Structure 1
Amino acid sequence: MIRRRALSATVVSIAAAALVAGCSAEDGPPADASAAANGPVTDLRVEVVRTLPHDPDAFTQGLEISGDEIFEGTGLVGESWVEARDLDTGTPRVRVDLPAPLFGEGITVDEDSLWQLTWRNGIAIERDRDTLVERRQIPIEGEGWGICRSGDRLVTSDGSDTLTFRDRDTFDPVDTVRVTDHTGGVDRLNELECTDDGAVYANIWTEDTIVRIDPGTGAVTARIDAGQLRASLDIDAGERPADVLNGIAAVPGTDRFLVTGKYWPSMFEVRFVP
């Protein structure tokens, strides 16, 4: 703050202020400039349409609907698997286990392929969509968390506040965007779902929260409170108590989503509403 004193000090004060301003301009914008530029975030909640059964022993890492099937991938060393099952009946069609020491993470369907990430094993696995037989392994740097397909690119998360865009054929990273809201970076981005309107939805690890992201800018445009879902669970339905929210799949042609969590005995068909 500049305090006015005697008239003789006015010129000196103005000069000093100008010098400080000039130095600040050269230093560049503040670190949270991108966050400050974000618009308001819409607060939403979940409206339950129906409740479906879910394997209470599944450590869910990825969930996606493709055609008349739902695909799910799970984690933990020695317990990771990926499965395709009938969307209406829940009847499994095919399931493949991951051998130790692989720790399964997010999954996404891309035409006749299914991509599956691993956590700290340094590989992404491309599988045949129908048989789930492994086609190839691609080396990746860092951790694998969530993945979805958006247009001509794949989008991945690694638990940070950054989304990485990847070539669909080579899996090479081609671009990144930092995810922010009005407070700054939004990290712990976990399971992802890309929707037809171009948005990316992400579970926030350890929270009952889903965020909607504009992948072009990284801005969070909506925050969905899903806390009522966990509160409605029979947390002791399985051998292990229900854990964090994780798993989101858009229902094609609707405004609804399927959501679940790690060791949840239920999966919920929901809308995101004000």
Structure 2
Amino acid sequence: MNHRVARNILWACLTAALAPTACAQGDTIPVHPYRIVHTYPHDPTAFTEGLFYEDGYLYESTGEFVGAGVRKVKLETGEIVQRRDTPAGYFGEGIIASGQRILQLSWQQGVGFIYDKASFKLIDQIRYPGEGWAMTRDANHIYMSDGTPVIRILDPQTFAQTGSIAVTANGEPLQQINELEWVKGKIYANVWQTARIAEIDPATGHVVGWIDMTKLVQAQTVGDPENDVLNGIAYDAGRDRLFVTGKRWRSVYEVKVGK
């Protein structure tokens, strides 16, 4: 099979445009089953671009040029207990905490905003080349996506880029890498406008598993299939809980991956 055919089959599988048997022939990466453990309320006006869980709360970044912001949310009720608007004219994107600071990316403006985690006061800015899509982190690094197959590695103190990971699936570069989450030594990544989450080995950049959430996506009634897609992954490491949601979805889902 040549690379062009393999690439086309991979994208057709990601967007659920091929039958499972056809995908199995062109995609050798295992697909992990999952089940819904619990359903929590989610603000249906939230154009979710970034999500993480910390200290008992969900932290969420919302996008679009009007109404973008960062918020702290009670998981169990969906109540917004704290929020701040993104500076006017900026399209909000990914979000991550580093110590007592929160960093929020903007989409195409190359500017990131640093907020005090406790007060949400804007305290600084950073600049970066290209686009900003999403972030996650481990104990020593921040990982940033920009819509390309390359995940940037950032210093958690200075936010300067220190390295990168070239992501491939079946030997082909994986395009449209979006929202990220660090889960048990792997990077989970939404692939924009698809119903699949990629499980990425950060040591090699290889996609080592898929989580196919087609049925979950199809159950949503957001009304705008071009934009209101699966986007938002958060992990509670202390209780081993994985949460997923989407743009303007009415629910956050706690899911268990595996049999």
TM-score range with shorter-chain normalisation?
Answer: 0.7 to 0.9
Q: Note if contact 2:54-2:236 (Cα within 8 Å) is conserved in structure 1.
A: no
Given candidates 236, 243, 246, the residue that maps to 2:231 is 246
Given candidates 164, 186, 206, the residue that maps to 1:219 is 206
Give the secondary-structure state (helix, strand or coil) at the position aligned to 1:169: coil
Q: Which has the larger radius of gyration?
A: 1
Q: Note if contact 1:233-1:266 (Cα within 8 Å) is conserved in structure 2.
A: no
Question: Deviations for 1:27-68, whole angstroms, at most 9, x for unmatched residues?
Answer: xxx9xxxxxxxxx52211331111111111111001110011
Q: Note if contact 2:40-2:76 (Cα within 8 Å) is conserved in structure 1.
A: no
**Where does residue 21 of structure 1 map in the other structure?**
none
CA distance, structure 2, for counterparts of residue 113 and residue 214 of structure 1:
27
Q: Which moved more, 1:91-100 or 1:173-182?
A: 91-100
Q: What TM-score comes out, normalization by structure 1 length?
A: 0.80
Q: Which moved more, 1:248-257 or 1:133-142?
A: 248-257
**Where does residue 80 of structure 2 map in the other structure?**
92
Deviation at 1:170, TM superposition (A): 1.4
Given candidates 76, 100, 121, the residue that maps to 1:133 is 121
Deviation at 1:171, TM superposition (A): 1.1
Q: Which moved more, 1:138-147 or 1:126-135?
A: 126-135
Q: What TM-score comes out, normalization by structure 2 length?
A: 0.85
Deviation at 1:260, TM superposition (A): 0.6
Q: Note if contact 1:160-1:187 (Cα within 8 Å) is conserved in structure 2.
A: yes
**Where does residue 104 of structure 1 map in the other structure?**
92
Determine whether 1:176 maps to 2:164.
Answer: yes
Question: Deviations for 1:213-235, whole angstroms, at most 9, x for unmatched residues?
Answer: 11111011111101111222233
Given candidates 190, 203, 207, the residue that maps to 1:203 is 190
Q: Which moved more, 1:156-165 or 1:125-134?
A: 125-134
Deviation at 1:271, TM superposition (A): 1.2
CA distance, structure 1, for counterparts of residue 239 and residue 215 of structure 2:
22
CA distance, structure 1, for counterparts of residue 216 and residue 240 of structure 2:
18
**Where does residue 9 of structure 2 map in the other structure?**
none
What aligned pairs does 1:1-274 form with structure 2 within 5 A after superposition?
41-195=29-183, 197-235=184-222, 243-273=228-258
CA distance, structure 2, for counterparts of residue 112 and residue 86 of structure 1:
19
CA distance, structure 1, for counterparts of residue 129 and residue 217 of structure 2:
33
* RMSD between superposed Cα atoms in Å: 1.9
Q: Which moved more, 1:81-90 or 1:169-178?
A: 81-90
Q: Note if contact 2:49-2:94 (Cα within 8 Å) is conserved in structure 1.
A: yes
Aligned residue type for 1:121: Q
CA distance, structure 1, for counterparts of residue 81 and residue 197 of structure 2:
29
How many residue pairs get matched? 233
CA distance, structure 2, for counterparts of residue 254 and residue 218 of structure 1:
27
Give the secondary-structure state (helix, strand or coil) at the position aligned to 2:215: helix
The answer for unaligned runs of 5 or more in structure 2 is 4-27
